[in-house]
Structure 1
Amino acid sequence: MDATTRQSEIVDLLNEQDRVEVDDLARRFGVSAQTVRADLRDLSTRGALSRIHGGAVRISAAANRAYGDRRKLNAEGKQAMAAIAAEVIPENCSVTLNIGTSTEQVARALSGHRGLTVISNNINIINMMMGGESRELILVGGAVRQSDGAIVGEDAVEFISRYKVDFAVIGASAMDEDGAILDHDAREVSVARAILKNARTRVLVCDHGKFQRSAPVRICDVADLDLVITDAPVPDAFAEAARMAGTRILIAGQSETENESDEND
């Protein structure tokens, strides 16, 4: 059986079930685990599935939506969250932004800041920040995913680990009420973890709709963040997890007094 046929059957399996395992697929196709991992890597690059440890899972309909379409989802909410992020991040500092439509809006909101050093694994962010006020732009090295301009994988993780920045700003595909911050692609998650690890202040920018979505790969927990910026009140359990960890939550559209009141409740 050739690779094309195998990969087609893997996709068919994931249309019938939520998850496939490397060892099961190797036995099914009579090939090595290494061959199966290569198949899963190819399918993940094309956006057909999401890789996890030991196998792969089906990507939700939201995750399959084209990147350009995702930019249009809750555009006003993303802009409002980005404006808060731009107030939090001062001029003359360093910041790393990961792939995502929310982090792109943060980049736009930072366009007037002077003296920034900006690192990103998102080609779109680097392009939109070129010109204007004086700043240093650093594009993470590695293979480019053409569907969204992301640079992910071990090369990107190693590149990011060379730096220590003042602010990390990440997005996510899903949030759980228990405080888990989640995504679909294990390679993206590895990069997001590296970004958080190599920053002094860690910021999540994520709209409230992510509480209605699920994703299989854990980026971090709310306790691992310094600040969560969102666009609507969060579930009580999430707010309590944040409060216990000392993680601030800022809600777009609320005044500073209202945000402080929510944190003290």
Structure 2
Amino acid sequence: MSQSLRQPEILDIARREGRVTVEDLAARFGVTLQTIRRDLADLADAGRLERVHGGAVLPSGTSNIGYNDRRSLNAAAKAAIARACAAEVPEGISLFLNIGTSTEAVARALRTHRGLMVVTNNINVANILAENPECEVVLTGGSLRRADGGLVGTLAADTIRQFKFDLAVIGCSALDRDGDLLDFDIQEVGVSQAILRQSRRSVLVADRSKFARTAPARIASLAEIDTFYTDAAPHVDLAARCRDWGTRVHVADPDQPDR
């Protein structure tokens, strides 16, 4: 495959999987490691990728990647994370699910739970859980973000403050080595902070691609989260901090089949 065909395919793989490695790409395309390194260098010089040890990731910035791209990114990992999270959600509780493709996966995993009251600012979550007759669904108000079906702003936060949730299930756009949960939209950050304040327990659902990304706005620290569901062990420094904070890390197996 020529360079002109190979590099767009490398970008497609990065969008689907969050990162690419030199060895994997060389095996996929049947070329040398040096050839792939040149491709990644070209793409990095063009601002399309950022080089990291052993490969490259999507570039950091102040805006998120497209919602449809995020839906297909690490879909198997998100499904495994969602199954692990849902398996530990008791029936008959109140919970909040916020904006994001990972929380949508959790909603799909909760379609057979009974006696739930789910409050959400995610229209997609509401539509998914509408299939569960044993689940009461409450939508916050707020300004509709057409790109992803999210409801944000003061009205959303005001609705949240009327509740005290047994559990909050939230996602984030990025997670740095200090354990800070990050996002791109300052309005969404304010809503997420209100969710955490109004919840007795909170969990984070975030796949491994979030370790390789960054975003400009801080939501909270993993120190404020009870359980972190992911598909890969965090960096050793962050894992040690989680132990110190009492934040449980649950690593789900994407290869585990649906039950």
Same fold (TM over 0.5): yes
* Secondary structure in structure 2 of the residue aligned to 1:133: coil
Deviation sequence 1:10-47 (CA, Å, 0-9, x none): xxxxxxxxxxxxxxxxxxxxxxxxxxxxxxxxxxxxxx
The answer (yes or no) to whether the contact 1:189–1:219 under 8 Å persists in 2 is yes
Q: C-alpha displacement at 1:65, in angstroms?
A: 2.5
Residue 65, structure 1, aligned to residue 65, structure 2: yes
Deviation track 1:81-133 (CA, whole Å, cap 9, x = no partner) reads 00011111111111100000000000000000000000000000001111333
> CA offsets, 1:163-193, max 9 Å, x none?
0011100000111111111111111111111
Once residues 253 and 147 of structure 1 are traced to their aligned partners in structure 2, the CA distance between those partners, rounded to angstroms, is 30
**Mapped partners of 2:68, 2:193: distance in 1:** 25
> Matches of 1:63 and 1:251 in 2, distance apart?
28
Which residue number in structure 2 is paired with residue 168 of structure 1?
A: 168
Q: Letter of the aligned partner of 1:235 in structure 2?
A: H
SS in 1 for 2:215: coil
CA offset at residue 147 of structure 1?
A: 1.1
Three-state SS of the structure 1 residue aligned to 2:159 is: helix
User: d(CA) in 1 for partners of 2:215 and 2:132?
Assistant: 37
**Alpha-carbon offset, residue 253 of structure 1:** 1.7
The reply to whether residue 196 of structure 1 matches residue 200 of structure 2 is no
Q: Residue 118 of structure 1 corresponds to which residue in structure 2? A: 118
* Alpha-carbon contact 1:171-1:206 (below 8 Å) kept: yes
Contact residue 173 and residue 182 of structure 1 kept, 8 A: yes
Tell me the distance in 1 between the aligned counterparts of 2:62 and 2:134: 37
Say if 2:64 and 2:184, in contact at 8 Å, map to a contact too. no
Aligned to 1:231: 231
* 1:141-220 equivalence runs, <5 A: 141-220=141-220
Distance 1:132 1:229 in 2: 24
**1:98 equivalent in structure 2:** 98
Task: Give me the CA root mean square deviation.
Answer: 1.6
Q: Does the 8 Å contact 2:62/2:215 carry over to 1?
A: no
Aligned-partner Cα distance in 2 for 1:115–1:153: 29
TM-score normalized by structure 1?
Answer: 0.71
Number of aligned pairs?
196
Matched residues, percent identical?
47
- 1: CA distance, partners of 2:122 / 2:116: 17
- Deviation for aligned residue 1:73: 0.3
Kindly indicate whether the alpha-carbon contact (under 8 Å) linking 1:183 and 1:215 is maintained by their aligned counterparts in 2.
yes
- Alpha carbons of structure 1 residues 111 and 177: separation in structure 2 relative to 1, 3 Å: same
**TM-score, reference length from structure 2:** 0.73
Per the TM alignment, residue 64 of structure 1 is displaced from its structure 2 partner at its CA by 3.9
Tell me the distance in 1 between the aligned counterparts of 2:131 and 2:104.
16
Unpaired runs of 5+ residues, structure 2, are: 1-58, 255-259
Counterpart of 1:82 in structure 2 is 82
Unaligned runs of 5+ in 1: 1-58, 255-265
The one-letter amino acid of 2:134's match is S
Deviation at 1:63, TM superposition (A): 4.4
State the secondary structure of the residue aligned to 2:203. Answer: strand
Higher alpha-carbon deviation: 193-202 or 75-84: 193-202
Q: Matches of 2:88 and 2:176 in 1, distance apart? A: 25
CA contact (8 A) 1:157 1:194 kept: yes
Tell me how far apart the structure 1 counterparts of residues 64 and 167 of structure 2 sit (CA, whole Å): 29
Query: Residues 188-223 of structure 1: CA distance to partner in whole angstroms, max 9, x if unpaired?
Result: 111111111111110000011111101111110110
C-alpha distance in structure 2 between counterparts of 1:64 and 1:102, whole Å: 15
Q: 1:61 to 1:218 in 2, by over 3 A?
A: closer
- Tell me the alpha carbon deviations over residues 48-79 of structure 1, each in whole angstroms, 9 at most, x when there is no partner: xxxxxxxxxxx946944321221000000000
